[in-house]
Amino acid sequence: MATIHDVTKESWILSTFPEWGTYLNEEIEQEQVAPGSVSMWWLGCTGIWLKSHEGTNILCDLWCGTGKRSHGNGKMKKGHQMMRMSGCENMQPNLRTQPFVIDPFAVKDVDALVVTHIHSDHLDINTAAAVHQNCPEARFIGPQEVVNTWLKWGIPEEKTRIVKPGDRVTVNDIEIVALEAFDRTALVTCEDPDEILKGKMPQDMDLIAVNYLFETSGGNIYHAGDSHYSNLFAKHGNEHKIDVCLGAYGENPRGITDKVTSVDMLRMAESLNAKVVIPVHYDIWANFMADPKEITEIWKFKKDRLNYQFKPFIWQVGGKFTYPNDKDKLEFNFYRGFDDVFTTENDTPFPSFL
């Protein structure tokens, strides 16, 4: 038995982090996806693990980092995209609010790591290292600047694949379609804090961000990354069959537009001709948190008048969603257990304890 003299900060970290250990890793590995369906798990932020009936595993946008850990000098880092878009100077209080539900260094059988764009809460060095070490055959798929970052980190070039809108990549039985992204925050992201963007031509979005459509035998999943609302969602909906769409939802602070709000989440689903819309990203940042049930309530208010052909699904981080099995559910809840109560003799002093 350990004593207080055996406990250190390092022993505490190793014994408690990641908070879920390998629980979710094991669940995903053991999952047998039924024919005609596709399963995915929410890993926090916009991180998704997608698994097909045929056993292909796609990891998208898994982020294993943290937000603010100190008040510092109370000021925003010079040149940060939030400073550029708003002219603010005070520190952004973006604390991470979700536990780590998966151990990246226990991942197995990943066929491809797919990343939507350049921001560090989507493009993560820990995830890249873990996938590279544990899954030597995995492919690394992303837009030009994402791949450039992987190369700087040491990912071999032959494992990478640069995609731009219109490209298709086949990973076993899954077809990955790269589509236009609509992430205006990415356009004002610049590594050089001294560079002035005002009055200049913006960056080429196609080099720094894409959206993805994952076409599987069980259904098609549209991942919008950090895209804001765009009328071009309707173009994507015209050109592709989309069953489930995921969007970066959140409550924008005053003077900031970085996340899709509730009404535009519904507009996105309608434009994409999706059957299910799932908000993500609202879980992770303390200063952008929102109540996703707002989406459900507005959907209820408008669905009959506007004849919505889709339903919202409110997920929980670490939870599984299977299409089409769960397409009519409005909310996720974890398995509560105890379904075997009183199958053996209980042990209490008297029945009155119960």
The pLDDT-based confidence of 352 (bands split at 50, 70, 90) is confident
pLDDT of residue 1: 87
Mean pLDDT of 204-214: 98
What local confidence, expressed as pLDDT, does residue 298 receive? 98
- pLDDT band for 209, please (50, 70, 90 cuts): very high
Average pLDDT over residues 133-149: 98
Residue 239 tokens read as 């050109």
Residue whose tokens read 């459900």? 296
pLDDT band at 235 (very low <50, low <70, confident <90, very high): very high
pLDDT of residue 292: 98
Reported confidence tier of residue 353, pLDDT bands at 50, 70, 90: confident
Paired tokens of 116: 């939507």
Angle, CA of 241, 146 and 77, to the nearest 5°: 120
Report the candidate in 140, 116, 147, 142 with the shortest Cα–Cα distance to residue 48: 116
CATH class of 19-323: alpha beta
Q: What is the mean pLDDT of residues 293-302?
A: 98
Percent of the chain with pLDDT over 90: 98
pLDDT at 101: 98
Angle at 59 between CA 52 and CA 270, to 5 degrees: 75
**186 vs 40, 88, 344, CA distance in Å?**
26, 17, 58
pTM across the whole model: 0.97
Q: What length does the chain have? A: 354
Contacts of 298 (CB under 8 A, 6+ apart): 262, 263, 266
Quick one: average pLDDT of 280-309? 98
Residue 61 has pLDDT above 90, yes or no: yes
CA distance 263 to 149: 35
What's residue 96's pLDDT? 97
Show me where the domains of the chain are located.
19-323
pLDDT digits (tens, 9 = 90+) for 88-121: 999 999 999 999 999 999 999 999 999 999 999 9
Average pLDDT, the chain: 97
pLDDT attached to residue 193: 93
Between CA 341 and CA 81 the distance in angstroms is 54
- Residue 130 CA to residue 115 CA, distance in Å, equals 15
Q: How much of the chain, in percent, has pLDDT values that exceed 70?
A: 100
- Element holding 178 (H helix, E strand): strand 174-180
Express each pLDDT in 287-296 by its tens digit.
Answer: 999 999 999 9
- Rounded average pLDDT over 255-259: 96
